[in-house]
Amino acid sequence: MPQNLVIVESPAKAKTIEKFLGPDYKVLASFGHVRALPSKQGSVDIESNFEPKYHVLPESKKHIDAIKKALKDSNRLLLATDPDREGEAISWHLLAALGLDKKKPGIDIQRVVFHEITKDAIVHAVENPRGIAVELVDAQQARSVLDYLVGFNLSPFLWKKIRYGLSAGRVQSVALRLICEREKEIRAFIEQEYWTIAARLGVAPGQEFKAGLVDVGGKRLGKFDIPDAATADGLKNALQTGSYRVTKVTKSEKKRNPSPPFTTSTLQQEASRKLGFSAKKTMSTAQKLYEGIDIGEGGTVGLITYMRTDSVNLSNQALQEAHDVITAAYGKEYALSKPRIFKTKTKNAQEAHEAIRPTYIVKTPTELKKFLTPDLHKLYELIWKRTVACQMTEALLDQTSVDITADLAQPIALVQVMADDAAASNNPFAGATRCGLRAAGTVIRFPGFMKLYIEGLDDQDEEKEGLLPAMNEGADLKLHELLPEQHFTQPPPRYTEATLVKTLEEFGIGRPSTYASIMNTLVERKYTRLEKKRFFPEDVGMVVNDLLVAHFSRYVDYNFTAGLEEELDQVSRGEKQWKPLLKEFWEPFVTLLKQKEGEVQKSDLTTEATDEMCPECGQPLVVKLGKRGKFIACSGFKEGCKYTRSVDGDKGAEAVEPEVSEEKCDKCGASMLIKDGRYGKYLACSGYPGCKNIQPLVKPRGTGVTCPECKEGELTEKKSRYGKMFYSCNRYPQCKFALWDLPVHQPCPKCGFPVVVKKIYKRKGEFLKCPKEGCDWTSE
């Protein structure tokens, strides 16, 4: 009979850990959080020094009962929840839910922490237990109560002043501000024209290269010094008469170092750039790799370390494994004589003291591919390459720059299209007889880590500089062609998930483990939408942001939010008490909220005046905020005038032509059109009425669960024609597998079907069920 009861968060981990520990240990799962603040007013007793009133979650009651039953036969309880603040808090809540918050005779309660699910790590953790870290619990409680105080007081304010159902969040609202402010920058942006001129020059036949114009008459060219086609033509005509020679050749060696191993945020960013994964998908896929994968003879084992961390440290064992793998695969010249140590930028790195890395670096992605789904393999390969590359030698690059002088036989003329002689005389290039050009080339002399891995970029292409032919100073060059090119300045790009995560982290706002849920909430609340992986704010999101910035500026201020994050870190380090922190936040916040209740009027937020008059009754037209965004309406609607139109529509104009999407109809192959319907924008086949196919505009969200039928696609969330949610393979129509209930990546313990589904009934609560016909297994 097992004498030791171990509690982990996930059932997937429980089986693996029980196998490692042997027959004297029984391992059960808490299935995540067991207690939380109820989603209702009064869950924090402000008058009693912010005392939280936690309730056991309904879905957790059966798990608590199972743990209580197992405790009767155990004399030792090991709390092995995740190695971070959330995990520490779950252990603390679990003791309270079990009635063990005070140590009882006969039961030895210990906390064990491990950062990877391997036998050595588990055994070491069990042999080295500790008590619950109260400081970490307090930091998590402070965050939970702060989020509650903001959400359950500011959200009702938005209901009254804008419309019912809106929400505000301590970090969510700051993320929304970033997106909205970027949109305002884009709308205010005025493009500016500018030109560049390149020359295609030759040293000898077949040895040609490009050089860019950088200097005219001894004056270094700025970005906008060639503002139009006329100026560019004048320069081109003069350059056409020039004789070209090499005046200077500069060679230098550049060294390039690899990026550090992954933290939570850098993994989310890189998986977005290189794999196209959302933050949510990245974290759910990483969770599966961490919790354990069956790798054949090796059994089920965790393939990566804990995926919620701010640290870039690697253990000595990992460093040695990486060195051995690099030496064997690439040779001694690619391995370091001493390990490369990276410094963690975050002041209070997450309590898991290692970066995200493979638990066994010797297990290559190629070796494990047959055991992994495509998504699991892609992410494992990314983590493996980044980890190994960070311990490879630096790359050596040879960079050559060549300065070229063009002596002009014909001086640069006054530009003929100038308005008058006075204006033309101001041309800074007029009369110049000499120009300077420059060419640059980079050659990889020794690839080092670049042989395995190069970090992706966000919004610009990798700079590509080709190899230059050999040249000596004083050598003459032949002009083959002049290439003037028109450019226009571009507005700042909208945020992607990767760049938003990067910006939030740079400001020190939130925790990387929460970024996925924050971005998901912004889309679910229809504050933003994702199009081509970019965040676009919706009208209601802009209105909510304007309200918060205008009236609650302190609480959506980047520095204030980052400072509050640092105070939470101080609590986790035992440098600050959590309840005084809550009081410091609450008193000015609630005072301001009461003040704004009387100051802010709903009409000021949801109605904007225009200078137009209603064509039907002559009263002023206004811009109003509706459920589907902003629209034009008559201010006399209370008197019975029903005139409305879209904001973009002209008076009396016919409906705007639908925009052609890049998507193709999966039924007939015709282009899909973006149309505006009762419930927002959607895709409709341009072949209507012959083809009546319609689809949601936003691509279905993935569940991270591999299709059990084709084993290639992913089960994604979709809506039926009647609005009911279901989950089907994203390879449809090649694969037509579908489920009505939320799939869970967990094999049926009875029949082995690779997926089970989550069912929720009012009476029974939440439970798992096998969807395979003929199998009656449930987790009840």
Spatial neighbors of 288 by CB under 8 A, at least 6 apart, are 12, 376, 704, 745
Spatial separation of the C-alpha atoms in residues 300 and 657, rounded to whole Å: 56
**Phi and psi of 288, rounded to 5°?**
-65, -40
**Pick from 318, 326, 392: nearest CA to 356:** 318
**Phi and psi of 316, rounded to 5°?**
-60, -40
Active site residue 306: yes
What DSSP string describes 102-167?
S--TT-EEEE---SS-SHHHHHHHHHS-B---HHHHHHHHHHHHHHHHHHHHHHHHHHHHT-TT--
Distances (CA, A) of 446 to 42, 465, 559: 64, 16, 43
Residue 457 tokens, joined: 């970029």
Please list, residue by residue across 405-418, b when 16 or more beta carbons sit within 10 angstroms of its beta carbon and e when fewer do. Answer: bbebeeebbbbeeb
Residue 63: strand, helix, or coil = helix
Ramachandran sector of residue 189 (left: φ over 0; alpha: ψ -120 to 50; beta: rest): beta
**Pick from 387, 388, 376: nearest CA to 302:** 376
Q: 674 has which bridge partners?
A: 659, 683
Element of type H or E holding 264:
helix 264-275
What DSSP string describes 563-623?
HHHHHHHHHHTTSS-HHHHHHHHHHHHHHHHHHHHHH--HHHHHEEEEEEE-TTT-PEEEE
Check 25, 194, 290, 306 and give the catalytic one: 306
How many C-beta neighbours within 10 Å does residue 301 have? 19
Residue positions annotated with a catalytic role: 306
